[in-house]
Amino acid sequence: DAGVIQSPRHEVTEMGQEVTLRCKPISGHDYLFWYRQTMMRGLELLIYFNNNVPIDDSGMPEDRFSAKMPNASFSTLKIQPSEPRDSAVYFCAAGTSGNTDTQYFGPGTRLTVL
Amino acid sequence: AQSVTQPDIHITVSEGASLELRCNYSYGATPYLFWYVQSPGQGLQLLLKYFSGDTLVQGIKGFEAEFKRSQSSFNLRKPSVHWSDAAEYFCAAAPYNQGGKLIFGQGTELSVKP
């Protein structure tokens, strides 16, 4: 089992550019979560999906953020346009219906917006 | 409001010494409780979890945690710390049957002196 895969691992972009972060969850895990980690705010849940359907997006900070899960093996988190305050580490995590509270995290994408 | 508090931002212990990291939660009912560890540049790894039953929970890497309802606490312990335990430790809670809505504490950074 390869675990949760995220790409890219590091992203540096300029303010105003579109950024797309990608996640491949663990096969058979039907829950997918996106988190953001910053020094100021710690770890925050942004959005999560069950069976590819968004269940709770109340943590998405602004309309500039959007997330999709077109199929069970792929999800994206998009920021358009990006701003310096979006600089953070973004984690994707996977869980299962029988055990949703145990989440397995990917290595994260470190985003820097200049 | 639901919250998880880790009172200690940074702790330093000597290798071989015992360790206790504190965690307090504030919820209407006892939530599910977790401890995760994050090594530099890595994602979060689950150390242990408490759902119900025995209040002393054993985890990986020699860690254990004790749930104390009267104190709303879920402190993490290890009898003898190894240099490789240096990392950041996160306590998290999830309300019962709201799979996925993990709320994290701010984290405690552990340094280990030789």
Interchain contact A109–B (C-beta under 8 A): no
Burial of residue A5 (CB within 10 Å: 0-12, 13-18, 19+) is middle
End-to-end CA distance of chain A: 36
A40: exposed, middle or buried (Cβ count in 10 Å: 0-12, 13-18, 19+)? exposed
CB contact under 8 A, B94 and A4: no
- Tell me: pLDDT of B97 over 70: no
Per-residue DSSP letter, A17: -
pLDDT at site B35 = 96
CB contact under 8 A, A100 and B34: no
The residue among B5, B45, B101, B104 with the most chain A CBs within 10 A of its CB, best to mutate, is: B101
Predicted confidence (pLDDT) at residue A97 exceeds the cutoff of 80 = no
Residue A86 scores a pLDDT above 90: yes
Q: What is the mean pLDDT of chain B?
A: 91
DSSP-assigned letter for residue A10: E
Question: What's the pLDDT at B42?
Answer: 83
B51/A contact by beta carbon, under 8 A: yes
Tell me the C-alpha distance between B7 and B79, whole Å: 20
| Mean pLDDT calculated for residue range A25-32 | 90
A42 contacts B105? CB cut-off 8 A: yes
Tell me, what's the pLDDT at A10? Answer: 95
Name the closest residue on chain A to residue B40, using Cα atoms. A107
Separation between Cα atoms, residue A97 and residue B31, nearest integer Å: 18
What average pLDDT does the structure give for chain A?
Answer: 92
What does the pLDDT average to over B42-60? 90
> How much is the average pLDDT of A19-43?
93
Residue B100: which pLDDT band, with cuts at 50, 70 and 90?
low
pLDDT band at B31, cuts 50/70/90?
confident
User: A50: which chain B residues are within 8 Å (Cβ-Cβ)?
Assistant: 100
Q: What average pLDDT does range A79-104 have in this prediction?
A: 87
Q: Which pLDDT value is given to residue B91?
A: 96
- The 3-state DSSP composition of chain B as helix, strand, coil percent (nearest 5) reads 10, 50, 40
Q: Does the structure show a pLDDT above 70 at B76?
A: yes
Please say whether the beta carbons of B38 and B45 come within 8 A. yes
**Is B40 a residue whose pLDDT tops 80?**
yes
Q: Which residue has the higher pLDDT, B101 or B24?
A: B24
With pLDDT > 90 as the criterion, what percentage of chain B qualifies?
Answer: 73
Instruction: Choose the mutation target among A4, A5, A43 for the interface with B, i.e. most B CBs under 10 Å.
Output: A43
Q: At residue B99, does pLDDT exceed 80?
A: no
Tokens representing B59 are 């985890």
The pLDDT value given to residue B54: 87
- Output the pLDDT for position B96: 66
| E strand residue ranges, A39-107 | 42-50, 53-56, 65-71, 74-79, 88-95, 104-105
DSSP state of B91: E
- pLDDT at residue B30, rounded to an integer: 75
